[in-house]
Structure 1
Amino acid sequence: MVLPIASAAPLSEISHEVKTINLKETTYESATAQSLVEILLKQASIEPDRVHIYFQNEKGEEKIITYGELYTEAKRVANGLHEYGIGEGETIAIMLPTCEDFFYTFFGVLLLAAIPVPIYPPFRPDRIEEYAMREANILKNAEVRLLITFHKAERLSELLQVFISSLKAVTTVEVLKNSTAKAPNRTITGDMPALIQYTSGSTSAPKGVLLTHNNLLANIRAAGAAMQVGPTDVGASWLPLYHDMGLIGAWFICFYHAIPVVIMSPLSFLSHPERWLWAIHYHRATLSAAPNFAYELCMRRITPTMIEGLDLSSWRLTLNGAEAVNPKTITQFIKKFSPYGFKPETMFPVYGLAESSVALTFPPLNRPPVIDTIKREPFEREQKAIAADAGDSKTLQFVCCGKAIPGHEIRVVDENNQEVPERKIGFLHFRGPSTMRGYYQQPEATQKITHDGWTDTGDMAYLAEGEIYITGRKKDTIIKAGRNLYPEEIEEVTAQVSGVRKGCVVAFGVQDQKSGTEQLIIVAEAKEISASEQKKIVAEVNEKIAVVLGIVPDEVLIVPGKTLTKTSSGKLQRAATKQAYIDKKLLRHALPFWAQIAKLSAKGLKLKLTNLFRSAWKGIYTFYVGILTVLCAIIVWGSVLVFKPSRAAQITKAITKIGTILMGCRIQVENENALSNAGATVYVANHASYMDAIVLIAVLPPGVRFVAKKELLKVPFLRTIITRLNIITVDRVDFLTNLSDTQKIVDELQEGKSIVFFPEGTFTYATGVRPFKLGAFKAAVESGTPVCAVAIQGTRSILRDDEWLFQPGKIKVTIGEILAPQSKEWQEVIRLHSLARAQIAKHCGEQVLDY
């Protein structure tokens, strides 16, 4: 259903008639749901006509999307993905603007048990090359298999494809929906990944935050409880859906609670911020959220004539977060819009981050914002937040962001991770069920911020009366003359100078080797002005900073508009600006759009030629490996025909060991001594490649038995080897479901034989340790046989699923500690399973994924 709305008309002709929404409590209880997919399936089944989204496009038309329609269209997308051969756990990039297709695509990916990776579409033609290379790095890190985009971005997306070796294809939602394939119904559990959210990169290179369904649901439930979301609530958002605050904080929280949500284009808000307020008025919305700059924009751009007749009395909570909350902004916003029914307690300063599935701390309900005024001197020199006296002139202000949401904890610590007293600035840590699984494919980065179960936010903060006050980013702190300066205040003061563009100032520190302190550098955008006018602005900035902070900047640069780079969520990129300053590239003029495209095309052509030569080399190498494999197989086949199984097993081990060396794939074994004293053992290993079995034959004691599918007996050559080497054949890899297969394996173990299992059952292109089936551990417990975890690292890069060209590489095998069963109880099966998987995850170099 498409309806015209007020914003479709010219501003002078807008009708502000209030829309009547039929609000009723849902009959489905989502509190027990294990995944977002389960909620969609149940809601679409029980209440298919329940209104979920009022989507307002840039033309000013409103489309109603019900739960039933969301499922139907998402299923069509899933069918298309299935036709492309997308498997469980594979990553799918969604490069779409805020549009109705985004909703269908996101859930279409989830229905197939794949992992959505939202990335922002190109929005600045003057920085298209920079955008393309940044997105290429994200797509490479995520090992994206398919890129879903829209027609206007198809050409750029195809250019990106050259840089991403994992990418199967670039496609559109329209193509996916027209598929005639039928996707299987896959079981989605809470531990399965639901999203990889790339951080905005405002202070560093973007990292992929891996969030499970459990993470998201825990966060949504806790945030919903803190806000007391109920059936009479209505959401409203202009936030981009590729950003976590818009995706989780706006869409998902309304989706979970089955309350309608008005979603409009971010471009509509940025060009006409009053449309956000009119959408709240029109739909009698009660909940919304935005970063601090949005409230600033409303104050600067909205005039009384634009909002004549506006009624904001329905607005119950507006979350202010995702960037530093400015005390002046919230005070002035309340003052400006209180005549239109906006209540002080509606302003809701919050704190969150992607690593905690967005929400982390909320203030109490029905309380106006609390602003803490503290003394400047002890704050800057001693890192203490001492409350200012009434007559103090040198002060700072920070906004209270409340306490941790239910079920979560926060703490403020020093450099040694020891908690500090109240009103002492330290590092903010958190823990709770919303905490991410980790940074995707970046275990070192994950380990760096993890401290005994707590996660470092990267922010500085202090506690006062049990509530948190954020003072700034750790990486952004400028240390000058023994004082800790925070860029937010410097940028705010600079922006007050006439001629400086609001929200377009960056302050940072650059190390001065001579003085041993940092130089304070300020970069501010201004409209095109003469050199004399620039000097005047620089002088005013110096004077204002000196008066307020008692310090003079080392350098103030006035640059043209659109010089400073911003993240997809609108945050200024201080780190990127600082690096550009250091590299003397800050004032370098960007190439024209066509020139940037030509440059990208040239890079792509060069890479294509490089890949062509690389593929040719890999083809020659693969041919060599093929000949080597045939020769080794003939020797093994002959040995099993001539010699006894024990002798044949020794020859097979020797041949595979020599074969891997001749392939240029030397195997490094860690803790090999653990194998020397092992008797009958259940060996369990991760599975990443066809190479894994060869590696284990070369490493483990000769004569260990493998478990294979009975179907392999149909191949005459393999049948001989399987039979003569006493390889165990079963009907299913998950033999736990077959009692005869289970007993066969238990009998072998009780006879003193060692058996090798790949408890994941299979492998796919996607990197990661998948769930372990329990059969191997059950057999170990029933037979009383110890378990040995074997972690294999490097085989996936030698020969990956869906690829047939080999490449040489290093292989590392880590033999784990022997795990002896302690009882015959089912809990012992789970214990062995957990311990073995943890050992493998620690040494295999890949992230743990659950399906």
Structure 2
Amino acid sequence: MTDTIAATLVPTPNQDTLARRMSDFATFGEALDYAATGQRGMNFHDARGNLARVYPFRELREDALAVAHRLVALGVRPEDRIALIAETGAEFAALFCGTIYAGAWPVPLPLPTSFGGKENYIEQLVVQLQSSDPSILFFPGEIAEMAGAAAARQGCKGIAFEDLLAAKAEPCDLPEGDSQAICYLQYSSGSTRFPHGVAVTHEALLNNLAGHGHGMELVEHDRCISWLPWYHDMGLVGCFLSPIANQVSVDYLKTEDFARRPLAWLDMISRNPGNSISYSPTFGYDICARRISSQSHVSERFDLARWRLAGNGADMIRPDVMQGFVNAFAEAGFKASAFLPSYGLAEATLAVTIMPPGEGIRVELVEEERLSGHPRDISRPARYRAIVNCGKPVRDMEVVIRGEHGGPLSDHHIGKVWCKGPSVMHSYFRDPESTEACLVDGWLDTGDMGYMADGYLFIVGRAKDMIIINGKNHWPQDIEWAVEQLPGFHQGDIAAFSVQSESGEEVPAVLVHCRVSDPEERRKLHDQIKDKVRSITGMNCVVELVPPRTLPRTSSGKLSRAKARNLYLAGEIQPYPLAA
């Protein structure tokens, strides 16, 4: 029946007679007003990738204005925060845009898919509701029990999407847009105990979206395909707001459907008659390559020759994983030059740097001792890590590398990454102390470490993740990637951090997903991992084998080392016992 419905639907077109404008609007409301005069729009697909709903930008605008009228009738006023559970669908899109038309600030919050159980999800919502202090929480009806409980604990109204959209919309005057006003609040994917609501103005949003559009060199036949969640900046800004402001038709697969059937993403790209633009963190490419490895006839199922821009972002880019994807799908026409590495963060709205299209993945081999900031021990052979080129700053963005005393560093010197431009956030909502800590004279301290080379940015890692033992720096990903080279491991199976030993000294600790059931084999695996980590750090370490799917992830799918450490120390991650 679904296939029959899909056959009768006509997706919104790639081409349009409407002249494309690269986000050159004063407010996001103006951007949607303009997009609505054309034929492009959103297209929502079911779990098998079949087209389920066509939603032109024209229809989105009509629904959003009706939502704005309903919100005003509910007493919503400009600058009120309106929390929205970010389910990929027309309802959330209309609610988000309608909240903006009403002059209020939408606050997208995550679905329960990335959290461990009902109570953990409710607690996560409560923490972010306390931070954003919304007047209303809107949610899909199927999670009414959990979302309603969170709203009740916070003391705000809880209303199902369906109930609001069924209410009568009485026309009324809406506030005029202001480019300097806050457009929305964005919580970073790692927001848990101490969340930071990033306040983004209309001006900042549109400036970043213009940089995004120009950086990708958008052309008439381009079409976006996305499974990324709308509560994460790459999904929200890059694949929801950017297609509207840059007038690009887009096809959506829900994140949970991608998790169940990742190859449906590539099926959708294969069916696209134009040029495809689609982004993913490294793990998305990894899981697709692993799923197809057991299948044959790749070229018969997929046609990836028109995949013009295969964006990489949101986590450390792994060149070995990217090469694995090329190996798996070259037969289907995928070109390595399509890869588009980028770097960004919610505090800069989204994009900070983008690789020029066509340049693909470029790496530099850097001695690990250089990464740790210590001279090389000449008695040991040199080890190298491949650092991926993340591209050049987007339009209007400046990037500089600063040393520990705040001074700028020259090319190839590793330090803290700072950026400055019109799309840098206004502030952290109601948190002046944290705002002042990372915003200095208009410059944003990203918290990431990297270096510049000939105008390109290379990212080394997160400063807060660095493991410092006996005054020596160790990057956790170097330890994790080394362990992954052992047979049977996948990306995301290992979390490395430091803990305090019984003697009070800091030592490296490694939690590893274990799929081995035999006690003796577990002991052998444990010893192998310990030897591997010792070869990297020169130290003995704590190795714990834990059940699969134990290590926590952020809402964007990234490994959360900080949360893994906290859960482990609190006894909430229980390792397997080892044979004596």
TM-score under structure 2 normalisation?
Answer: 0.91
Which of 243, 253, 276 does residue 286 from structure 1 map onto?
276
1:762-792 alpha-carbon deviations (Å, 9 max, x no partner): xxxxxxxxxxxxxxxxxxxxxxxxxxxxxxx
Aligned mates of 1:256, 1:5 — CA distance in 2? 32
| 1:565 paired residue number | 552
Which of 309, 320, 326 does residue 312 from structure 2 map onto?
320
Greater Cα offset, 275-284 or 437-446: 275-284
Which of 173, 184, 191 does residue 184 from structure 1 map onto?
173
The alignment status of 1:93 with 2:83, answered yes or no, reads yes
Aligned mates of 2:407, 2:55 — CA distance in 1? 50
Contact kept in structure 2, 1:344 and 1:369, CA below 8 Å: yes
The alignment status of 1:377 with 2:365, answered yes or no, reads no
Contact kept in structure 2, 1:274 and 1:306, CA below 8 Å: no
Identify if the C-alpha distance between structure 1 residues 559 and 512 changes in structure 2 by more than 3 Å, giving closer, same or farther: closer
% same residue: 29
1:418 counterpart SS class: coil
| 2:128 paired residue number | 138
Identify if the C-alpha distance between structure 1 residues 5 and 197 changes in structure 2 by more than 3 Å, giving closer, same or farther: farther
| 1:84 paired residue number | 74
Which of 451, 455, 480 does residue 462 from structure 1 map onto?
451
1:740-771 alpha-carbon deviations (Å, 9 max, x no partner): xxxxxxxxxxxxxxxxxxxxxxxxxxxxxxxx
TM-score under structure 1 normalisation?
Answer: 0.63
| 1:757 paired residue number | none
Structure 2 unaligned residues grouped into runs of 5+: none
Please show how residues 148-227 of structure 1 align to structure 2 within 5 Å.
148-165=138-155, 167-201=156-190, 205-227=194-216
* Distance apart, 1:90 and its partner CA: 0.3
Higher relative contact order (CA 8 A, sep 6+): 2
The alignment status of 1:341 with 2:328, answered yes or no, reads no
Greater Cα offset, 466-475 or 73-82: 73-82
Identify if the C-alpha distance between structure 1 residues 156 and 138 changes in structure 2 by more than 3 Å, giving closer, same or farther: same
Q: Which amino acid aligns with 1:356?
A: A
1:393-422 alpha-carbon deviations (Å, 9 max, x no partner): 521111011221111101111122101222
Contact kept in structure 2, 1:203 and 1:573, CA below 8 Å: no
Q: Which amino acid aligns with 1:540?
A: Q
Aligned mates of 1:186, 1:380 — CA distance in 2? 53
Identify if the C-alpha distance between structure 1 residues 424 and 31 changes in structure 2 by more than 3 Å, giving closer, same or farther: closer
Please show how residues 413-562 of structure 1 align to structure 2 within 5 Å.
413-500=402-489, 502-511=491-500, 514=503, 518-527=506-515, 529-547=517-535, 549=536, 551-562=538-549
Which structure has the highest helix share of the two?
Answer: 1
Q: Which amino acid aligns with 1:236?
A: I
* Distance apart, 1:515 and its partner CA: 6.8
Q: Which amino acid aligns with 2:210?
A: R
Contact kept in structure 2, 1:210 and 1:440, CA below 8 Å: yes
Identify if the C-alpha distance between structure 1 residues 356 and 96 changes in structure 2 by more than 3 Å, giving closer, same or farther: closer
* Distance apart, 1:293 and its partner CA: 0.8
Q: Which amino acid aligns with 2:410?
A: P
Please show how residues 701-780 of structure 1 align to structure 2 within 5 Å.
none
The alignment status of 1:106 with 2:96, answered yes or no, reads yes
* Distance apart, 1:488 and its partner CA: 1.3
1:50-102 alpha-carbon deviations (Å, 9 max, x no partner): 13112113363431111221112212222322221111110111114212211
1:308 counterpart SS class: helix
Q: Which amino acid aligns with 2:283?
A: F
1:564-603 alpha-carbon deviations (Å, 9 max, x no partner): 21111111111111122223332299xxxxxxxxxxxxxx
Aligned mates of 2:24, 2:372 — CA distance in 1? 48
Q: Which amino acid aligns with 2:432?
A: P
* Distance apart, 1:465 and its partner CA: 2.5
1:250-271 alpha-carbon deviations (Å, 9 max, x no partner): 1222212212111111122211
2:153 counterpart SS class: coil
Contact kept in structure 1, 2:11 and 2:54, CA below 8 Å: no
Contact kept in structure 1, 2:211 and 2:395, CA below 8 Å: yes
Contact kept in structure 2, 1:96 and 1:148, CA below 8 Å: no
Q: Which amino acid aligns with 1:362?
A: I
Identify if the C-alpha distance between structure 1 residues 573 and 186 changes in structure 2 by more than 3 Å, giving closer, same or farther: same
The alignment status of 1:272 with 2:261, answered yes or no, reads yes
| 1:68 paired residue number | 58
* Distance apart, 1:498 and its partner CA: 3.5
Contact kept in structure 2, 1:28 and 1:42, CA below 8 Å: no
* Distance apart, 1:236 and its partner CA: 0.8
The alignment status of 1:116 with 2:72, answered yes or no, reads no
Greater Cα offset, 563-572 or 347-356: 563-572
Question: Is the radius of gyration larger for structure 1 or structure 2?
Answer: 1
* Distance apart, 1:39 and its partner CA: 1.8
* Distance apart, 1:313 and its partner CA: 1.2
Contact kept in structure 1, 2:91 and 2:161, CA below 8 Å: no
* Distance apart, 1:120 and its partner CA: 0.7
1:447 counterpart SS class: helix
Aligned mates of 1:294, 1:337 — CA distance in 2? 14
* Distance apart, 1:29 and its partner CA: 4.1
* Distance apart, 1:21 and its partner CA: 4.5
* Distance apart, 1:343 and its partner CA: 1.4
Residue-pair matches, total: 567
Q: Which amino acid aligns with 1:443?
A: P
Aligned mates of 1:557, 1:262 — CA distance in 2? 42
Q: Which amino acid aligns with 1:276?
A: W
Structure 1 unaligned residues grouped into runs of 5+: 10-17, 385-391, 590-851
Identify if the C-alpha distance between structure 1 residues 246 and 31 changes in structure 2 by more than 3 Å, giving closer, same or farther: closer
* Distance apart, 1:511 and its partner CA: 4.4
Greater Cα offset, 136-145 or 418-427: 418-427
Contact kept in structure 2, 1:146 and 1:171, CA below 8 Å: no
Aligned mates of 1:200, 1:5 — CA distance in 2? 38
2:79 counterpart SS class: coil
Which of 321, 328, 332 does residue 329 from structure 1 map onto?
321
| 1:40 paired residue number | 32
2:493 counterpart SS class: strand
The alignment status of 1:404 with 2:404, answered yes or no, reads no
CA-atom RMSD, angstroms? Answer: 2.7
Aligned mates of 2:570, 2:367 — CA distance in 1? 37
Q: Which amino acid aligns with 1:350?
A: S
Please show how residues 769-848 of structure 1 align to structure 2 within 5 Å.
none
Aligned mates of 1:162, 1:21 — CA distance in 2? 43
2:464 counterpart SS class: coil
The alignment status of 1:255 with 2:238, answered yes or no, reads no
Aligned mates of 1:520, 1:200 — CA distance in 2? 25
Aligned mates of 1:5, 1:409 — CA distance in 2? 51
Aligned mates of 1:125, 1:436 — CA distance in 2? 27
Aligned mates of 1:484, 1:370 — CA distance in 2? 25
Contact kept in structure 2, 1:238 and 1:263, CA below 8 Å: yes
* Distance apart, 1:20 and its partner CA: 10
Identify if the C-alpha distance between structure 1 residues 102 and 135 changes in structure 2 by more than 3 Å, giving closer, same or farther: same
Aligned mates of 2:428, 2:499 — CA distance in 1? 29
* Distance apart, 1:539 and its partner CA: 1.1
| 1:583 paired residue number | 570
Greater Cα offset, 259-268 or 327-336: 327-336
2:419 counterpart SS class: strand
Q: Which amino acid aligns with 1:430?
A: C
